[in-house]
Structure 1
Amino acid sequence: MEKKKPNQEVFSLYDDYCHNRIERRDFVKKLSAFAVGGWTVSELMSYLLPNYAAAKRFEKNDSRLKSEFLEYNSPKGAGKMRGLLSRAAGSSEKLPGIIVIHENRGLNPYVEDTAHQAALDGFIAFAPDALTPFGGYPGTDDEGRTLQAQRNRDEILEDFIAGYEMLKTHPECNGNVGVVGFCFGAWVSNMMAVKVPDLKAAVPFYGGQAPSEMVPSIQAPLQLHFAELDTRVNEGWPAYEAALKEHNKSHEVYFYPAANHGFHNHSTPRYDKEAAELAWSRTIEFFQKHLKA
């Protein structure tokens, strides 16, 4: 018998779990109420959790790419930070740069794929790992969330800004750098727009907004992406939008119908292929406009 797709309540419950609002024990207990229609609890767990092995789009030695891991100094005493640098193989010209900011679980394979895709789209991409002080992304999102929760988010923000400075001065970068971030990384993207005066563009995907009182400091144009069903994040948008308009800040915003938080992440069932591809095409067009001029 074919299993019926889980309802929206299941996705909302998973959203609570992966953003640390409920513990794993409570998640499993509540999930048992939805173990119907041919689903067991373990099957629902397997369905909801990311499957990076099946979704991985780029191999380590992809001949189309020139990729490596680089270290740079943390400005907040975390020692050396580490990140993935990727650009198209054979490129000899200086390229505009994109900082790719991960979610609340470290530099996982999905975010690595996103950096590689940005490279194929004509940019030099750098994806730092906030979990470097713990040895890097540990291999599972559950462990990654636990580790990242042990770090101060403002210190993480400063580490990403340092990554931006490193990329801007990289010999293969033309000095024009933007940022794209997902979930926690979207908050970082919004805050980098506040704190980095020469940031050329910021593209937050379904994440926390900067406080309204900080909006006057924003210089970079913003392109914001939201999922229609992501009520938790979306409730902060009206105040942010009002502040952006009040201070005449350049921005454009897109909402994706029937999409869930995390719709761009191709390793989970929340992935929405149509929305993800449209949002990414808009992202690349936005960066081409603001970074290649």
Structure 2
Amino acid sequence: MGLQGEWVQYGDHQQYSGYLVLPEGPAPLAKPAVLVIQEIWGVDPHIQDLTRRFAQAGFIAFAPDLFYQAGGKAPQLQEQRVEDAKRFLDTLPPAAWRDTQAREAALGALPEAQGRAIGETLELILAAGANAAAYVSVLEASAGFLREYESGSRRRPVAAVGFCLGGMLSAQLATRDAELRGAVVFYGNLPQAEQVAQLNCPVLGFFGELDTRITDQVPAFAEAMKQGGKAFDYRIYEGAPHAFANDTRASYRAEPAQDAFARTLTFMREHLTTLE
């Protein structure tokens, strides 16, 4: 039959939505859980595929939709609008993505309605990091949901993995959730040195050498973690750009992506156990 993913509503008022995939085999609900945290594109086909891959590896896997609010998503964040924005950004060099002047000039060359629609979507997704505190609150609720989802009287162990925006949020969740078993960061901004004392679990990071905006943060964070007696392991992949693990983008690099995913599974198996 194969893996079956489903969208579920959760939260005290069913105000959140996420993509849930159970592992195959006997007693799937006895397995530990991995929280898969989206890029700026939302829970798109790539994130759904990653969620299924974690389920194939034997975990309950769940990707909360951070753009879903109280019954739905803003029109600007609907899947087709985001796909249109992706295609537009692919026509620009990556350095121009956050260059407002260059972006507006390129948008101005499009038909007026199309340019306006893409511009509205880009305004929201490129500023998603500013909503980090709200997103972490959603992730706390998501981790709580996973710990209790059809688990009887026991609490299911949960670890997090995030990509880009989600990488940053994975580490931030680790500063807030005392029960989190581990946090994996794929090319996301790292916590500030003053937050290290708040980290509650081991952290694993994967970074691209060419993604200097992110990767330049690694040495200081590693030193702060060492000084704080915290566990932080990481890899910086030579010649790899940002989003090297996204196999739907031009940035994809197969060798580091496959190595990082294998290391992530090893990390999850080390720090997650079956229901206690």
User: Aligned partners of 2:122 and 2:45: how far apart in 1?
Assistant: 15
Question: Is the CA contact (8 Å cut-off) linking 2:11 and 2:145 kept in structure 1?
Answer: no
Q: Deviations over 1:198-252 (max 9, x none)?
A: 1001100001011110101112111110111111111211221111011010121
Q: Offset at 1:101?
A: 0.3
Q: Offset at 1:152?
A: 2.3
The equivalent of 2:205 in structure 1 is 224
Q: How does 1:59-78 map to 2 (within 5 A)?
A: 63-73=1-11
The equivalent of 1:158 in structure 2 is 137
User: Aligned partners of 1:211 and 1:273: how far apart in 2?
Assistant: 30
User: Aligned partners of 1:64 and 1:91: how far apart in 2?
Assistant: 14
User: Aligned partners of 2:78 and 2:63: how far apart in 1?
Assistant: 12
| Matched residue type, 2:4 | K
Matched, 1:138 2:76: no
Q: How does 1:39-78 map to 2 (within 5 A)?
A: 63-73=1-11
- Cα distance change on mapping 1:145 and 1:287 into 2, 3 Å: farther
The equivalent of 2:114 in structure 1 is none
Q: Deviations over 1:43-92 (max 9, x none)?
A: xxxxxxxxxxxxxxxxxxxx3213211112289xxx71110000223431
Matched, 1:96 2:96: no
User: Aligned partners of 2:68 and 2:12: how far apart in 1?
Assistant: 10
Question: Is the CA contact (8 Å cut-off) linking 2:9 and 2:16 kept in structure 1?
Answer: yes
- Cα distance change on mapping 1:155 and 1:92 into 2, 3 Å: same
Q: Which has the higher contact order (CA 8 A, sep 6+)?
A: 2
Q: How does 1:111-126 map to 2 (within 5 A)?
A: 111-126=47-62
Matched, 1:106 2:37: no
| Matched residue type, 1:119 | A
The equivalent of 2:248 in structure 1 is 267
5+ residue gaps in structure 1? 1-62
The equivalent of 1:210 in structure 2 is 191
Question: Is the CA contact (8 Å cut-off) linking 2:163 and 2:188 kept in structure 1?
Answer: yes
1:244 to 225, 232, 240: 225
Question: Is the CA contact (8 Å cut-off) linking 2:196 and 2:224 kept in structure 1?
Answer: yes
| Matched residue type, 2:58 | G
Q: Offset at 1:261?
A: 0.5
User: Aligned partners of 2:259 and 2:155: how far apart in 1?
Assistant: 27
Q: Offset at 1:114?
A: 0.4
- Cα distance change on mapping 1:201 and 1:277 into 2, 3 Å: same
Q: Offset at 1:270?
A: 0.9
| Matched residue type, 2:143 | Y
Q: Offset at 1:174?
A: 5.8
The equivalent of 2:17 in structure 1 is 82
User: Aligned partners of 2:240 and 2:216: how far apart in 1?
Assistant: 16
User: Aligned partners of 2:231 and 2:148: how far apart in 1?
Assistant: 26
User: Aligned partners of 1:195 and 1:100: how far apart in 2?
Assistant: 17
5+ residue gaps in structure 2? 86-117
1:170 to 126, 149, 155: 149
- Cα distance change on mapping 1:137 and 1:160 into 2, 3 Å: farther
User: Aligned partners of 2:238 and 2:273: how far apart in 1?
Assistant: 31
Question: Is the CA contact (8 Å cut-off) linking 2:208 and 2:240 kept in structure 1?
Answer: yes
| Matched residue type, 1:160 | L
User: Which deviates more from structure 2 when the two are superposed, residues 235-244 or residues 264-273?
Assistant: 235-244
Question: Is the CA contact (8 Å cut-off) linking 1:131 and 1:147 kept in structure 2?
Answer: no
1:276 to 253, 257, 267: 257
The TM-score with structure 2 as length reference comes to 0.77
Q: Offset at 1:118?
A: 0.3
Question: Is the CA contact (8 Å cut-off) linking 2:159 and 2:183 kept in structure 1?
Answer: yes
Question: Is the CA contact (8 Å cut-off) linking 1:178 and 1:202 kept in structure 2?
Answer: yes
User: Aligned partners of 2:189 and 2:68: how far apart in 1?
Assistant: 23
Quote the sequence identity (%).
Answer: 30
| Aligned Cα root-mean-square deviation (Å) | 2.1
| Matched residue type, 2:43 | L
